[in-house]
């Protein structure tokens, strides 16, 4: 027999530090939000390059996506935080390094999503816009991207959730987020189950709130 | 060329050529041996001011591609298009930035002065009818939002869509969509209108209304190139007819003559098939 049922849960330390957990969670949320915004901007640019039809632009964009999609976030964190400092002497703060790493990882995914969204549009949309004399940029800005945005909201929501969960790795480069709180708790009280369950509960709650937000956004942007 | 200069050019004598295309060649999938399709094989055409040229022919004969070559939505591989005194080939000057800019400006001139109406309307689904019509005038002609809005409502009114100005394309019937698309093209005050099978995607009972609209436009003196399968319209409204097959112009002449007594046997075969 194991002593599974004999274990006495000790939620006290977790509950005593609920404010620290929430503070850490808040850091994860805003770091993710900034990274996500930057990843979207970068992703649109890369998607447009990939669809440019100019080999010199589309090939590097393709390579960018292929490589960045393959490199794990963990590696990016070490590269950006430790590697960059050693190689070129540029020192990022832990949070800055985290944002750069999350942005790079996220941009590979958003680039693919925007590419798919742009390709899903009827070719006649661009033709009609160009035939009205709009420039390439104007066509993207006023005709193609507003339509793409409506298509890509659900998959982009998944990327956001992925990045939010990825942000839990940031504690390994000494970002004091909610995982670092759980870590410390675990070291002091040896309650790994309780400490990390707290992290899980907070993330599940955040994802639920975020999903609801996405649903509202979809409804607001839905065309008649 | 400025807009004023363009208008001046357009006010030249009747009979002045508005557009001349010479030796147009176009292939799709160029450079891919097996998949390459030579759609246009040396097409010439010219249209005078106020003239209505109807282009007929079996599907796949290159009619739509020809229209797309005229405003460089599909730039021709060879040949040139002269439009209101400008002359462009499909060859983009990539090396010299100054020439490149001149080329882009000319392209813009062509597109802002050539209106195009598509088979599948191609309205922008995320904009109301009024915004669809106002987009070109604001973004390509530089009108203020208010001027563009005014012009948009005016053009929608003209095609009987004034009451639908606030509706989205998905809320309109096919015929209404095509009216909005016509208004969108006319709001640019074009010197030439291209109609690419504008009635082919419409329910039969809606075709008449759109043809009526096109006829009215022709009567108002608009220069038009119309790709259509509506032979009644071609005979009645068209000044000249161009019959195309397999990427070349097979027969060309007065609308009535070509449709009623075609000379070439391929034209005869096509017309008897379509009219029976």
Query: A122 to chain B: which residues are within 8 Å by CB?
Result: 120, 122
Q: Which of B112, B122, B180 to mutate to test the interface with A (most CBs of A within 10 A)?
A: B122
Asked if A28 and A168 touch (Cβ cutoff 8 Å), the reply is yes
**CATH code, A120:** 1.10.3720.10
Q: Residue A98, by phi and psi: left (phi above 0), alpha (psi -120 to 50) or beta?
A: alpha
Comparison of pLDDT for B101 and B197, the residue scoring more: B197
Helix (H) or strand (E) holding B224: strand B224-227
pLDDT digits (tens, 9 = 90+) for A81-129: 999 988 988 889 999 999 999 999 999 999 999 999 999 999 999 999 9
Instruction: Give the dihedral sign, CA A99/A105/A107/A113.
Output: negative
Number of structural domains (chain A) is 1
Residue A93 lies in a domain: yes
> Is A204 a domain residue?
yes
CB A131 to CB B120 under 8 A? no
Find the CB nearest B111 among A125, A132, A146. A132
Q: Does domain B3-275 have CATH number 3.40.50.150?
A: no
Contact B171 A133 (CB under 8 A): no
Q: Which helix (H) or strand (E) holds B54?
A: strand B52-56
Of A130, A134, A224, the CB nearest to B168: A224
- pLDDT tens digits, one per residue of B189-235: 999 999 999 999 999 999 999 999 999 999 999 999 999 999 999 99
pLDDT > 90 in chain B, percent: 83
Residue A165 sits in which domain range? 14-221
Residue in A with minimal Cα distance to B119:
A124
Residue among A52, A123, A128 with most chain B CBs within 10 A, to mutate: A128
Domain map (residue ranges) of chain B:
3-275
Task: Please answer yes or no on whether A143 and B124 come within 8 Å at the CB atom.
Answer: yes
Report yes or no: B62 and B88 within 8 Å, Cβ to Cβ.
Answer: no
Whether A217 maps to a domain, the answer reads yes
Residue of A nearest to B112 (CA): A133
* Whole-number Å distance between alpha carbons of A89 and B86: 57
Is A214 part of a structural domain of the chain?
yes
In a domain, A180, yes or no: yes
- What contacts B23, CB < 8 A, 6 or more positions away? B42, B43, B44, B78, B79, B80
Q: Indicate yes or no: CB of A133 within 8 angstroms of CB of B111.
A: yes
- Place B15 in a pLDDT band, splitting at 50, 70 and 90: low
Residues 96 through 125 of chain A touching chain B, CB cutoff 8 Å: 122, 124-125
Per-residue pLDDT reduced to its tens digit, A163-202: 999 999 999 998 989 999 999 999 998 889 999 999 999 9
A212 found inside a domain: yes
pLDDT at B95 over 90: no
* pLDDT at position A3: 60
Give the whole-angstrom CA distance, residue B61 versus residue B39: 7
Which residues of chain A are within 8 Å of residue B73 when distances are taken between CB atoms? 127, 130-131
What pairs with residue B195 in β-bridges?
B117, B226
């Amino acid at each position: 027999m194991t002593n599974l049922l004999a274990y006495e849960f000790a939620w006290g330390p977790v509950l005593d530090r609920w404010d620290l957990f929430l503070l850490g969670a808040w850091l994860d949320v805003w770091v993710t939000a900034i990274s996500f915004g930057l990843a979207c901007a970068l992703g649109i640019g890369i998607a447009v390059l990939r669809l440019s039809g100019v080999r010199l632009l589309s090939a590097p964009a393709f390579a960018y996506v292929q490589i960045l999609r393959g490199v794990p976030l963990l590696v990016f964190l070490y590269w950006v935080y430790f590697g960059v400092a050693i190689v070129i002497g540029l020192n990022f703060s832990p949070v800055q390094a985290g944002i750069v790493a999350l942005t790079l990882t996220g941009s590979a995914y958003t680039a693919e999503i925007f590419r798919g969204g742009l390709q899903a549009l009827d070719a006649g949309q661009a033709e009609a816009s160009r035939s009205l004399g709009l420039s390439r940029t104007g066509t993207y800005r006023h005709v193609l991207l507003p339509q793409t945005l409506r298509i890509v909201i659900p998959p982009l929501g998944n990327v956001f959730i992925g990045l939010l969960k990825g942000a839990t790795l940031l504690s390994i480069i000494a970002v004091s987020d909610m995982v670092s709180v759980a870590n410390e708790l675990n070291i002091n009280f040896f309650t790994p189950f309780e400490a990390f369950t707290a992290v899980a509960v907070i993330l599940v709650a955040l994802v639920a709130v975020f999903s609801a937000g996405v649903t509202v956004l979809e409804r607001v942007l839905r065309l008649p | 060329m400025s807009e004023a200069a363009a208008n001046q050019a357009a006010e030249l004598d009747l009979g002045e050529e508005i557009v001349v295309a010479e030796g147009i060649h176009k292939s799709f999938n160029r450079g891919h041996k097996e998949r390459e399709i030579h759609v246009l094989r040396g097409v010439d055409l010219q249209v005078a001011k106020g003239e209505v040229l109807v282009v007929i022919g079996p599907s796949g004969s290159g009619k739509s591609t020809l229209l797309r070559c005229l405003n460089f939505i599909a730039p021709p591989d060879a040949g040139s298009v002269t439009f209101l005194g400008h002359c462009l080939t499909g060859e983009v000057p990539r090396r010299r930035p100054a020439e490149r800019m001149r080329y882009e400006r000319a392209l813009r001139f062509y597109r802002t002065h050539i209106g195009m109406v598509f088979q599948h309307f191609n309205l922008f689904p995320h904009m109301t009818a009024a915004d669809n019509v106002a987009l070109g005038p604001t973004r390509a002609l530089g009108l203020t939002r208010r001027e563009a809005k005014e012009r948009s409502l005016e053009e929608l009114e003209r095609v009987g869509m004034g009451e639908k100005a606030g509706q989205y394309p998905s809320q309109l019937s096919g015929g209404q969509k095509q009216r909005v698309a016509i208004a969108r093209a006319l709001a640019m005050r074009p010197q030439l209108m291209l109609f690419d099978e504008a009635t082919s995607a419409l329910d039969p009972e809606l075709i008449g209304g759109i043809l009526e609209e096109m006829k009215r436009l022709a009567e108002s003196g608009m220069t038009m190139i119309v790709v259509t399968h509506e032979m009644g319209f071609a005979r009645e409204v068209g000044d000249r007819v161009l019959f195309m097959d397999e990427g070349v112009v097979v027969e060309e002449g007065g609308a009535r003559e070509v449709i009623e007594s075609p000379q070439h046997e391929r034209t005869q075969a096509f017309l008897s098939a379509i009219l029976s």
